[in-house]
Chain A
Amino acid sequence: MAEPLLSVNDLKVSFRTEDGIVRAVDGVSFTVDEGEVVGIVGESGSGKSVTMMSVMRLITDPNVIYQGEIVYKGRNLMQVSRDTMRGVRGEEIAMIFQDPMTSLNPVYTIGWQIEEQLNEHYDLKKGQARRRAIELLTQVGIPKPAERVDDYPHQFSGGMRQRVMIALALSCNPDLLIADEPTTALDVTIQAQILELIKNLKRDFGSAVVLITHDLGVVADIADRILVMYAGRIVEEGNKEQIFYDPQHPYTWGLLGSIARLDRPKARRLTAIAGQPPSLINRPQGCSFRPRCPQAFDRCRAEDPKLTAKVGDGHLDACHLSIEDKRARRDATINPELAETA
């Protein structure tokens, strides 16, 4: 098997705070292959953004503590020099952020901001960077790019700004694109357009994509493989079919149950996952999801479940329930109306 593009091995990211050490990411391992689309799903505070920010080494908090390794094309990014890291950022790994309203510098034109990145990584002649910027704006679907290149971010709508962010991220043709909730701050209609755009550009540019989201509905369409994160750990990992049609972890069931389904005859109330995520300073004993899990039993308190493959190749989960129990119980959470009629 070919070497994966990115492999994160037992990554732990903690922050020293006055109240104690917050373990934001607590032993996460996964790989991203070239050209692959990986979705990372989980609620706020589950560590998905911190994981990917660590890959870019963009966490500037002086109280951060890292452990583990992040290997990109054979290099451990945790150990390379700051200058080497600068060469990786933007050129090899690029990132799109959640809020396009605040992610672009308000005092420079969008053209300037794209050209800045191009000039940083390539030796370009005068005018070349600008032509490339206009070309990129055309590719992301900005109307009249030759005029709009001289406009400031505040002259664009949210969706258009996110297109500019995507143009910026793709400007150096990166091998890995990290999209941190790229559609969360946008209207639903715009969300679909942006996802479609990412999908098409992924095809054109051949980049691998890591899509961070809290909405399983977003990754359903686009991701090859899905990681479900909870409280700083991966609780389930599998390809799209495995996660959507054979979910193993009760937390994944909860996420699936909270998607609004329009393909079902009877409308129903969405099921919410009861309770709050646990404190990342004092983790509950045993399984982190236990306090919120309706399926919890004695073993869940006694023993912390490991992420292992139980049902099939590449489908991992961290839950003590037997496969039979899982298959029998999950419909009550995911599709209560089907469970009732059955």
Chain B
Amino acid sequence: MVTFAVRRLLGLIAVMLVLSVLVFLIFFETPGVDPARLMAGRNPNQATINAIRHEFGLDRPLPVRYALMMKRMFITRDLISYGSHTRVIPEITSATPVTLSLVVGAAVIWVIFSILTGVAATVLRGTVFDPILMILALIGISMPVFWLGEIVNLFTQSRWHGFFLFSWVPPLGYTPITQNPLKWFEGLVFPWLTLSVLYVGFYARVLRANLIETENEDYIRTARSKGISERRVLLRHNLRTSMITFVSLFGLDFGILVGGGALLTEVVFGLPGVGLLTYNSLTSLDLPVIMTTVIYGAFFITLASALVDLLYAWLDPRVRPT
């Protein structure tokens, strides 16, 4: 198990190294992209561009520029944003808790409700409730998060804000949990729900399909022939093995969201998370910030997939390293 973990850690470093080189090449070698020119403002003269180019080290050879950027990102941690001229690393570290708060909360909601919905639909198969649940799930999947978020805001922030159900909803934005846990929670309730709707629907459908598929396995018949209760057959035998797909999907989705994939939710609810940072840096082609957010995202996605592999080994003894 230890060698397995070490191997995954080495893999993680290798993936991040390759990714950083790729991203660097894409943004610095793309024809027509000249960061110095972008930074110089409107109609700059050549001297200004050259000055900026020299100031940011953009006139040095490519490998040197790459090495410089990596050094500033990881060792001296004083990488400067081209756009806002602030340090990038503190920006990321202050955005991370926002994104984590959003994604972890949403993940808790989506795991609980998708398991409940998937199991309920399986148990109620043959009744009208199964198709009703699955249609609701499909509607959840089909609603774009930016639209849903705006509708939620329309009701909770303006139209019905006076209504007693929504009067407690604080204005858009983020309050750190260290500052005021209650305000933190209140401000995140609707972002959590909005973000999780899609995943509840999707995971419930996947889980239902898996449960029904596993239901036909021989070992489920064996379990029944042992005389154990239907509930135990469903939960201990069927759900336990059906969770394998669920977990692998969850790990990747969770990694992607923490890595900046919750961008739309963050923008709609004004949460200053990593997604928002990525979005802003992309629109202004702020290369240092793009580089940093991509590497940050890659870190979480590879970390999540490593954790999924460990969980997988726990769920399925057949893949356990011996």
Give the top 6 A-B pairs by smallest Cβ distance, nearest first: A90-B227, A89-B227, A102-B218, A117-B226, A105-B219, A90-B226
Tell me if A127 counts as interface (CB < 8 A to partner B). no
Given contacts A107-B315, A107-B316, A154-B318, contact A86 B218 (CB under 8 A): no
Interface of B is mostly: helix
Q: Which of A60, A89, A107, A117 has the most CB of B within 10 A?
A: A107
Which A positions have Cβ atoms within 8 angstroms of B?
56, 58, 60, 62, 82, 86-91, 94-95, 97, 99, 102-107, 109, 116-117, 120-121, 152, 154, 165, 168
Q: Which of A56, A87, A165 has the most CB of B within 10 A?
A: A56
| Complex interface: chain A residues within 8 A of B126 (CB) | 62
Closest residue of chain B to A104, judged by CB? B219
| Complex interface: chain A residues within 8 A of B230 (CB) | 82
Number of chain B residues whose Cβ lies closer than 8 Å to a Cβ of chain A? 23
CB atoms of B241 and A106 under 8 A apart: yes
Tell me if B317 counts as interface (CB < 8 A to partner A). yes
Residue in contact with B227 in the complex, picked from A60, A88, A104, CB distance below 8 Å: A88
Q: Chain B's nearest CB lies how many Å from the CB of A180?
A: 10
Which B positions have Cβ atoms within 8 angstroms of A?
126, 215, 217-219, 221-230, 236-237, 240-241, 315-318
Q: Chain B's nearest CB lies how many Å from the CB of A84?
A: 11
CB atoms of A91 and B227 under 8 A apart: yes
Residue in contact with A107 in the complex, picked from B221, B228, B229, B317, CB distance below 8 Å: B317
| Complex interface: chain B residues within 8 A of A109 (CB) | 317
Task: Please name 8 pairs of A and B residues whose Cβ atoms are closer than 8 Å in the assembled complex, sorted by A.
Answer: A89-B226, A90-B227, A91-B227, A97-B218, A103-B222, A106-B219, A107-B240, A120-B228
CB atoms of A120 and B318 under 8 A apart: no
Q: Chain B's nearest CB lies how many Å from the CB of A42?
A: 21
Closest residue of chain B to A171, judged by CB? B226
CB atoms of B219 and A103 under 8 A apart: yes
| Complex interface: chain A residues within 8 A of B218 (CB) | 97, 99, 102-103
Given contacts A97-B222, A105-B223, contact A86 B315 (CB under 8 A): no
Q: Chain B's nearest CB lies how many Å from the CB of A315?
A: 33
CB atoms of A97 and B221 under 8 A apart: yes
